[in-house]
Structure 1
């Protein structure tokens, strides 16, 4: 598979994600502003997506919009997490209590993928979108997932990810020591990853496609750090109340 083919596939996904964020018809100019693609590439991409039936083009308004085919392509997928309802309750109540962004994540190779999020209303906030991904090394939620792996696997992921990580993971020995520290507790808190943010995270007694799920509360470090213990206690309380007893 050529590099151009991979790039084209990535651009298809990114264009559809722009529509998912805006939830409204968009012109080519608006899509160009959102993606910063070359105009010639966007023109060819939109023509292909329209011809394939994934986008509808209104010649009067010059706007594009995804068709039902986009919805139908994934309509057969059922939520692989049967615990989704109680997890949603935990996330909702945690967001209401803490006032900060609450996210649900899962390991996806060397990255963490956010499956759901309840956004904070604060102007300065920790913002994540469902489907967003980042290095496991760049997230408190990623650290707690890493800490549950064996040493050899942690080393492999560290070596593959550290050169592109924005965190201060340090050298391998110091990072392994951090993983030991996190492994000894039921939570993880890291400050300034990303910069000026702090996230308290904890594993949930549930899995997504066989992989452990993690929940996190994140926000501006000056708000989160003084309340991290309070947030942890609330997370434990909500898990105890809402998680099925045969899982806890």
Structure 2
């Protein structure tokens, strides 16, 4: 296809990601637009669209964007046989085989938990309608509870009120959320059933490193609610073990 027929927005999206490879740090809309010679308005629209779809994350304090782990994992399937220094794909794949459950890598994006990478369970009974870039209410997921556990109760209250102010569905109860978060703090991992999907649950642990915007990352597995209720402790131990094995190959963690 001749260059003039290339879809402009697709080309620009790839050029933005390519620029981050050169910068290797967060950058704002103005810097990206000036460096690439794009109009600032269309750059802002495109970068926010990349944020909504899980390719970029945004720091509200610095007003800068940075690529998410989803970008880092895009080519994981190409060299899945060799677990590289910053390669998490292999760990997710191993967890899927060990648990026979769906495995996910996620982070916080606004008041939601956004999935950066998802490897579906092989068994149809435990497959979930999830894909990278999808977001769920942070207080209704195991990974979200792990992230909320690092916040103060006052901060959690503000997050829940913001969710309720913008949600079209049922309102979240602050005390109910705090009870789940309290259990997460005591046990050192998060687990929940029926939070997003009926008869489905998940277990999650915190990864001991953050993304480029210093946002925490969580690793989780999801399957039937019955299994989660019966095995959440064992599954959490398995998650921790795999994280520890992964970190042994990462001296800087």
TM range (shorter): 0.5 to 0.7
Query: Distance in 1 between the 2:168 and 2:231 partners?
Result: 27
* Residues 52 and 187 of structure 1: CA distance in aligned 2, closer, same or farther (over 3 Å): farther
| C-alpha displacement of 1:138 | 2.1
Structure 1 residue runs of 5 or longer lacking an equivalent are: 1-50, 56-65
Spell out the pairing of 1:30-179 with structure 2 (5 A cutoff): 53-54=6-7, 68-78=11-21, 85-124=86-125, 125-162=127-164, 164=167, 169=172, 171-179=173-181
The answer on whether the counterparts of 2:140 and 2:192 sit within 8 Å (CA) in structure 1 is no
Q: Secondary structure at the match of 1:243?
A: helix
Contact 2:68 2:116 in 1 (8 A): no
Report how many aligned residue pairs link the two structures: 188
Q: Distance in 1 between matches of 2:102 and 2:129?
A: 7
Distance 1:167 1:69 in 2: 39
Q: Distance in 2 between matches of 1:134 and 1:127?
A: 12
Distance verdict in 2 for CA 1:180–1:167, change over 3 Å: farther
TM-score, structure 1 length as denominator? 0.65
Gaps of 5+ in 2: 22-66, 73-83
Could you say which residue in structure 1 is the equivalent of 2:184? 182
Greater Rg over alpha carbons, structure: 1
> Match of 1:210?
214
- Encode CA deviations 1:185-234: one digit per residue, 9 max, x unaligned: 21111011221111001101010120111111002223443332322221
Give the superposed CA RMSD. 3.1
Q: What TM-score comes out, normalization by structure 2 length?
A: 0.64
